[in-house]
Amino acid sequence: MQTLQDMIGDLTSAPEPVQIKLFSPNIDLLRAWAPRVGDTIKKIDGVKDVKNGIENTISGPSFTFKIDESAAARSGFNSQELELDASAIMQGEPSTVPVIANGRSYTLRVTFPPEMGSSLEAIRNTPLISSTGRTATLGALASLQTDPGQLEIRRENLQRDVTVTARFEGVSLGTGMGRVQKAVAALHLPSAIRIEYGGLFQEQQRSFHDLLVVLGSAVVLVFIVLLIEFGTFSAPIAILSSALLSTSGVFVALLLTHTTFNISSFMGLIMVVGIVAKNGILLLDADARFRRAGSPPRQAMIEAGERRLRPIMMTALATIAGMVPLSLAIGAGSQMLQPLAIAVIGGLLASMVVSLIVTPPVHYFLDGRTTRKIQPNES
């Protein structure tokens, strides 16, 4: 599972699970504290491949051309011509007229012979011809010098930063990040340094927030559908009460199987809410039928529970049976969806009990004691 997560992470924009971003305009302060942060988290159990972010990356050397305006003017050259010639020597210049071949247009890049740009001395001795027909070497018209490579400056949102990175081994992302955050907080970094946690942890937190919005939207939509179907508030409240309580089975199943609560299992939790709502609909539909037949509210609810017990159990067990192979991680790539299957199985097992224990009394005490015969709207 860890290997699969690392492979997936390497294909994303944030391959490292741990990214501790230190922001400060004082680069010396960042260079002093980043190694201390790296050394601190390196001592945490389960944290591997720590990099302190101090990389003295040097950009390649460069050539500087400074045109001698008076010498160029005496030789019949202008600055635009010299700039174009220097660029042609170093990297070539695209031609203004494309070449047509096989019905397609191609742009050619015009360059000087390779030996003319092989060294600084060769560049200086490269002969040039002006638009007026006069000749001169590039060294006679401009001063050339080689600039050493410069340290690359890293910025994010225009702020200088150093990023300490690491991976986890044998520990979940949530547990590991909790240990990392506690260890970094104990360092008491200067107020001039701002800390931000990125990487897969940041992506997970953003995904959890989005899934919470999805869960809330699902509950609201299910409530609206049930309200339109039954025409009373008691039925949707009773059904959603059992559906939300059934999610406790999700956490119990994850705990018993030592499975982390991640994005996949969160999706399974959302599925449980929709699947379990179906049990309540079956139960209250039967209750409405018995009431229309003249049964007292209490008796109608008891008879509905007896009548719908078998369908509720059979549909739940059939769904669980279909999820068992996935929960056992049988097949290539099934490890990614294993938490989802475990979450759904746990939620459905809990729903078989909760739907029959919670939905009837909640509905009965909210609306069931009246003699009004509620029923689903029939078309």
Q: What is the DSSP letter of 364?
A: I
pLDDT of 111 over the 60 cut: yes
Q: Which part of the chain has CATH 3.30.70.1320?
A: 2-57+153-200
Return the pLDDT at 3. 44
Q: Which amino acid is at 244?
A: L
pTM equals 0.59
Q: Which residue in this structure is represented by tokens 């919470």?
A: 212
pLDDT of 369 over the 50 cut: yes
pLDDT above 90 as % of the chain: 1
Confidence bin at 14 (pLDDT 50/70/90) = very low
pLDDT of 6 over the 50 cut: no
CATH of 62-147, one of 3.40.50.10140, 1.10.10.10, 3.30.2090.10, 3.90.1330.10: 3.30.2090.10
Q: Which residue in this structure is represented by tokens 């590991």?
A: 176
Mean pLDDT of the 316-341 span: 81
Mean pLDDT in the chain? 80
Return the pLDDT at 283. 83
Half-sphere exposure (Cβ direction) of 14: Cα atoms closer than 13 Å = 16
Q: Model confidence over 154-183: pLDDT tens digits? A: 777 777 888 888 888 877 777 888 888 888
Question: Which residues on adjacent β-strands are paired with residue 156?
Answer: 159
Return the pLDDT at 208. 84
pLDDT of 122 over the 50 cut: yes
Mean pLDDT of the 319-342 span: 81
Q: Which amino acid is at 316?
A: A
Confidence bin at 333 (pLDDT 50/70/90) = low
Residue 246 and residue 351: Cα distance in Å, rounded?
A: 5
pLDDT above 70 as % of the chain: 88
Q: Model confidence over 87-98: pLDDT tens digits? A: 888 878 887 777
DSSP letter string over 45-93? TTEEEEE-S----BPPPEEEEEE-HHHHHHTT--HHHHHHHHHHHHT-E
Measured torsion, CA atoms of residues 41, 43, 45, 51, in degrees rounded to the nearest 10: 50
CATH of 2-57+153-200, one of 3.30.70.1320, 3.50.50.60, 3.10.580.10, 3.30.1490.20: 3.30.70.1320
Mean pLDDT of the 324-335 span: 76
- What's the sign of the alpha-carbon dihedral 117, 118, 124, 125? negative
Q: Which part of the chain has CATH 3.30.2090.10?
A: 62-147
Residue-wise burial string across 213-251, b where 16 or more C-beta atoms lie within 10 A, e elsewhere: eebeebbeebbeebeebbebebbbbbbbbbbbbbbebbb
Q: Which part of the chain has CATH 1.20.1640.10?
A: 231-368
Residue 241 and residue 358: Cα distance in Å, rounded?
A: 7
Two tokens, residue 27: 């680069």
pLDDT of 363 over the 50 cut: yes
Mean pLDDT of the 32-39 span: 86
Q: Model confidence over 226-244: pLDDT tens digits? A: 888 888 888 888 888 888 8
CATH fold, domain 231-368, is Multidrug efflux transporter AcrB transmembrane fold (1.20.1640)
Return the pLDDT at 379. 38
149 vs 130: which has the higher pLDDT = 130
Return the pLDDT at 207. 83
Residue 49 and residue 166: Cα distance in Å, rounded?
A: 5
Return the pLDDT at 56. 55
